[in-house]
Structure 1
Amino acid sequence: MKYIKKNKIVALALVCLFFTSCKMLAPVSAIEKQPVPESFAVSKDTLNSAKIKWKDFFKDKNLDNLIDIALKNNIELAVTLQEIEIARNDVRVKKGLLLPSVNAVAAAGVDKVGRYTSTGAGDASTEITPGNEVPEVLQDFMLGLKATWELDIWKKLRNSKKAAYSRYLGTVEGKNFVVTNLVAEIANSYYELVALDNQLDIVKETIALQKNALEIVKVQKEAARVTELAVKKFEAEVLNSQSREYEILQQIKENENKINFLLARFPQPIVRDKTSFMAEIPQQIQAGIPSQLLINRPDIKQAELELFAAKCDVKAAQAEFYPSFTISGGVGFNAFKTSYLFTTPESLIYNLVGDLTAPLINRNAIKAEFNKANAMQLQAMYEYQKSILNGYVEVSNELSNISNLEQFYTLKNKEVQALTTAIAISNDLFKSSRVDYFEVLMTQRDALESKLELIETKKNQLIAVTNIYKALGGGWN
């Protein structure tokens, strides 16, 4: 009867312990998700250029070779690969916590207890064999195994493992995002470099044209048809163009070094073809529908995985309020003489213990961890929403940019043609003294600026196509 009553008291205490541990949990706040628009206000066609592999997207073989080298040698990408390895090992750590921990134990020691103690008095009267009492100074040898195992009743350890695995997958998507940015950055730098080459050629042609005009002005000065002012104006224009030539040469050097840095190599010439730059037609882009961004863009997928990991962290932190059940035990041999160590059953030892523990006093720290995990979950939700919104805005901006650049290039090309014709007309009129030298100078200057802007526009068109390819989630596959 007393035994049954005692068991009821223990059971009641455990129930109180459980409910004390479970109460006063902070609620997990919910965030309303915003629906993704059905289209980019262009069409609802599901064809998507992000599915095209980068080797098929970029037609320039020199550019393809540079990207190939970068994907093998880029330092930032190498750092990202190590982050993946770190996350992979973290998963192994969390997985190992689910399994029993078994350790081999070997120990040796010496012990001398007082004779006038309960232990010493008991030992003094104990005979091992007839006529042999327990020695006063005892040695102690032990050899065995110890094991502990926390039963994952509330899925605390499993949720921690899920969070670690989700973050591991997130690092893989992070690597893909680095690849996407790397491919786009190399392509944009390459187009910048080739555009500078073409601008340099235009400046050199202009310098030759200006020098020719300068000689004509000098001849006319000798014939007293113009003054020294005209000569100096033409000389200044030549010097201005020559200074611009060196400015472009410096920009070319910096862009070459930028590409070499991305390729993780020391400065060296970049192999490129500038001849077909102005004739290159920007690739037609299929934007697909916004919901495809959730699948194609690595940064959005990474944010989604981080959100799932944060949810698992909240569940694991919540489980800290609940009682935990641990089983521990051991088996081995223990004796005060090595010769007795493996004598069975006298030297055989074993134990098995089950522990049920729950927090009672130090609950503030657990509450703080739970609130922290909850706040991080909300933060991850906001980051996920921001990544989706950012992806949509980037695509929308680049689609508009491509359309406007196409119109801008058409008009700028007509302007260049008109000014090129105007140069020849102004030179002829100047020779016949029907216009003054100022009109010739202004026409040459406007033509130079217009040609340089036309090259800049072509470069911006190619960069815009690369940027929308990246914004759609292309380049990493």
Structure 2
Amino acid sequence: MNSILRWTAVAAAALAVAGCSFIPTYERPVAPVANSFPYGGANAGAPATELNWRQFFTDAHLRELIAMALANNRDLRIAVLNIQQARATYDIRRADQLPTVNVQGQISRAPNIANIESTTYSVGLGLASWEIDFFGRVRSLSEVALNQYLATEEGRNAAQATLVASVANAWLAVAADEELLTLTQDTLKTREESLRLTRLRFENGASSEIDTRQAQSLYESARVTLAQLQRQRALDLNALALLLGTPVPTDYRVGVATDQLQLPDLPAGVPAEVLAKRPDVRQAEQVLIAANANIGAARAAFFPRISLTAAAGVASSELNNLFQGGAFGYTVTPALVLPIFDAGRNTANLESAKVGRELALAQYEKAIQAAFRDVADALAGRATYGDQLAAQARVAEAEGARYRLARLRYENGVASYLDLLDAQRSLFAAQQGLVQTRLARLQNQVQLYRSLGGGWTE
């Protein structure tokens, strides 16, 4: 028994002293993007990565929905299960670096020299074939598994950031649907009353049929818009239910107008620093590090593999004397395997590992570039939506004044009914545009928060 432990200690010491690694030195590639974001500005405030989603989204109802989605969403659940699977794979690879010791018991019955059958009982400890990792092959494979595990963790973080932003955007869309429905229903009532009055005037000879038909067309157009908005709200509720992982009642109401919602502004920062903190970019980098470590394992395959198998125990012909009077014995069997001819298998594996690293590098650079565009698009939106919203508000105000004046002119016989209908149509479109622009601006702020690396921390 002591001999096995002594051999194990010697092998471990040799591994610690003589062990080496053929993994290439990893250096983070230079980001293939510009040194600054377009429309970046110099806004004050906390970076997105320092604001968890509960701090960024202040509405209590929205935070409740996000928490529900994080608990129930199936995509996020799949990401968590992938982490657990990758962790188990890493644990297996890490266990390969340590020896496996088993208890071995045996009963054998065979004839002796005198051709008399005898029974032998034996029990002991056995050291399974353990590869002494002189050239770092097993450690390289463990490094590969570790970085694949870390990549799945980053993938889960990226999935959470996307889920948080998606729930927020879906909720904002439902809020805008409610506003547009209220606006359309009010407009429909106004146009219904106008149609009723126009018909009365026509029946009394005070107006022509063309005025009645124009009023009817405007009224039916409002009904068309109402049906479209009802369908759009149902679709948005369905999308929200899928994100939450649970049904949403058809009578669900946000109860908050888009002009009452405010989200924090965020500084853009330096691309190289900001993008490196995004979970999807970090996931791509972990895949690249794993591919780099795989080269070390492929290189080590060209060198000898040294393994150790050992066993020690006692044996006796009588079971009751096994642990007292049994004979002690042990075996130690080192083995060396040196590849001489493998038909180019190791060379092909090494070449495959190198190509795999180049592929992972290209995917990492693509992730950086896609993330840069993601941020740049959101910054372009932030730089322009403010002016667009202010202009749209002025359009709605002007169209409201125009409608009031057109109505006064029509009632006093100065303007035609066509002028009044045109003013009604333009006012409705301007009011719709105002709600839609507010929604687009809010969703762009959510997109900026996610693209700058926010949303994946609690």
> Residue 180 of structure 2 contacts residue 432 of structure 2 at CA under 8 Å; is this kept in 1?
yes
Cα 1:273–1:429 change in 2 (3 A) is same
**Using the alignment, how far apart are the partners of 2:370 and 2:145 within structure 1?**
26
> Residue 296 of structure 1 contacts residue 474 of structure 1 at CA under 8 Å; is this kept in 2?
no
| Cα drift, residue 226 of structure 1 | 2.2
Q: Percent identity?
A: 23
Cα 1:476–1:244 change in 2 (3 A) is same
CA-to-partner distance for each residue in 1:262-300, whole Å, 9 max, x for gaps? 22212325452234x224455322111112224421111
> Residue 204 of structure 1 contacts residue 245 of structure 1 at CA under 8 Å; is this kept in 2?
yes
Partner of 1:75: 74
> Residue 256 of structure 1 contacts residue 267 of structure 1 at CA under 8 Å; is this kept in 2?
yes
**Using the alignment, how far apart are the partners of 1:271 and 1:154 within structure 2?**
64
Instruction: Name the Cα RMSD after superposition.
Output: 2.7
**Using the alignment, how far apart are the partners of 1:181 and 1:423 within structure 2?**
43
- TM norm structure 1: 0.83
Partner of 1:95: 94
| Cα drift, residue 109 of structure 1 | 4.3
Partner of 2:172: 191
Partner of 2:7: none
For residue 37 of structure 1, the aligned residue among 34, 43, 55 is: 34
| Cα drift, residue 172 of structure 1 | 1.8
Instruction: Give 5+ residue unaligned stretches, structure 1.
Output: 1-24, 113-122, 125-132
Deviates more, 1:293-302 or 1:447-456: 293-302
| Cα drift, residue 108 of structure 1 | 3.5
The one-letter code sitting in structure 1 at the alignment partner of 2:303 is Y
Report SS of the residue matched to 1:410: helix
CA-to-partner distance for each residue in 1:95-152, whole Å, 9 max, x for gaps? 111111222223334556xxxxxxxxxx64xxxxxxxx342x5655443322132111
**Using the alignment, how far apart are the partners of 1:207 and 1:258 within structure 2?**
28
> Residue 313 of structure 1 contacts residue 373 of structure 1 at CA under 8 Å; is this kept in 2?
yes
Report SS of the residue matched to 1:278: helix
Partner of 1:319: 300
1:272 and 2:240 aligned: no
**Using the alignment, how far apart are the partners of 2:451 and 2:100 within structure 1?**
48
1:375 and 2:355 aligned: yes
Report 1:182-221 matches (<5 A).
182-221=163-202
> Residue 44 of structure 1 contacts residue 289 of structure 1 at CA under 8 Å; is this kept in 2?
no
Partner of 1:465: 445
Report SS of the residue matched to 2:336: strand
For residue 366 of structure 1, the aligned residue among 334, 346, 354 is: 346
Cα 1:30–1:436 change in 2 (3 A) is same
> Residue 46 of structure 1 contacts residue 288 of structure 1 at CA under 8 Å; is this kept in 2?
no
> Residue 207 of structure 1 contacts residue 242 of structure 1 at CA under 8 Å; is this kept in 2?
yes
CA-to-partner distance for each residue in 1:176-196, whole Å, 9 max, x for gaps? 111111110011011101001
**Using the alignment, how far apart are the partners of 2:454 and 2:420 within structure 1?**
49
**Using the alignment, how far apart are the partners of 1:284 and 1:102 within structure 2?**
59
Partner of 1:250: 231
**Using the alignment, how far apart are the partners of 1:50 and 1:389 within structure 2?**
19
Report 1:63-462 matches (<5 A).
63-111=62-110, 124=113, 133-135=114-116, 137=117, 141-147=121-127, 148-268=129-249, 269-275=251-257, 277-281=258-262, 283-334=264-315, 338=319, 347-462=327-442
**Using the alignment, how far apart are the partners of 2:123 and 2:35 within structure 1?**
70
> Residue 62 of structure 1 contacts residue 273 of structure 1 at CA under 8 Å; is this kept in 2?
no
| Cα drift, residue 45 of structure 1 | 7.2
**Using the alignment, how far apart are the partners of 2:30 and 2:179 within structure 1?**
49
**Using the alignment, how far apart are the partners of 1:226 and 1:160 within structure 2?**
88
| Cα drift, residue 44 of structure 1 | 6.4
The one-letter code sitting in structure 2 at the alignment partner of 1:362 is D
Cα 1:294–1:429 change in 2 (3 A) is closer
Cα 1:28–1:364 change in 2 (3 A) is farther
**Using the alignment, how far apart are the partners of 1:271 and 1:169 within structure 2?**
40
Instruction: Give 5+ residue unaligned stretches, structure 2.
Output: 1-21
Cα 1:390–1:171 change in 2 (3 A) is same
CA-to-partner distance for each residue in 1:411-431, whole Å, 9 max, x for gaps? 211111111122222223333
CA-to-partner distance for each residue in 1:399-448, whole Å, 9 max, x for gaps? 11122222211221111111112222222333344333333222222221
Cα 1:62–1:343 change in 2 (3 A) is closer
Cα 1:176–1:32 change in 2 (3 A) is closer
The one-letter code sitting in structure 2 at the alignment partner of 1:83 is N
Report SS of the residue matched to 2:259: coil
Partner of 2:454: 474
**Using the alignment, how far apart are the partners of 2:346 and 2:26 within structure 1?**
18
> Residue 151 of structure 2 contacts residue 287 of structure 2 at CA under 8 Å; is this kept in 1?
yes
- TM norm structure 2: 0.86
The one-letter code sitting in structure 2 at the alignment partner of 1:466 is V
Partner of 1:16: none
Displacement over 4 Å in runs of 4+: 27-32, 43-47, 109-112, 137-141, 334-345
The size of the alignment, in residue pairs, is 431
**Using the alignment, how far apart are the partners of 2:324 and 2:55 within structure 1?**
76
**Using the alignment, how far apart are the partners of 1:193 and 1:375 within structure 2?**
48
**Using the alignment, how far apart are the partners of 2:59 and 2:130 within structure 1?**
60
> Residue 97 of structure 2 contacts residue 133 of structure 2 at CA under 8 Å; is this kept in 1?
yes
CA-to-partner distance for each residue in 1:189-235, whole Å, 9 max, x for gaps? 11101001111111111112211221221132123232223213312
Report SS of the residue matched to 1:296: coil
> Residue 52 of structure 2 contacts residue 455 of structure 2 at CA under 8 Å; is this kept in 1?
yes
| Cα drift, residue 334 of structure 1 | 4.5
CA-to-partner distance for each residue in 1:8-67, whole Å, 9 max, x for gaps? xxxxxxxxxxxxxxxxx9x99999744553321434679623322221212222111111
CA-to-partner distance for each residue in 1:312-338, whole Å, 9 max, x for gaps? 111012111110111111122446665
> Residue 46 of structure 1 contacts residue 289 of structure 1 at CA under 8 Å; is this kept in 2?
no
Cα 1:44–1:227 change in 2 (3 A) is closer
Deviates more, 1:321-330 or 1:242-251: 242-251
Report SS of the residue matched to 1:240: helix
Deviates more, 1:302-311 or 1:249-258: 249-258
The one-letter code sitting in structure 2 at the alignment partner of 1:321 is F
> Residue 71 of structure 1 contacts residue 179 of structure 1 at CA under 8 Å; is this kept in 2?
yes
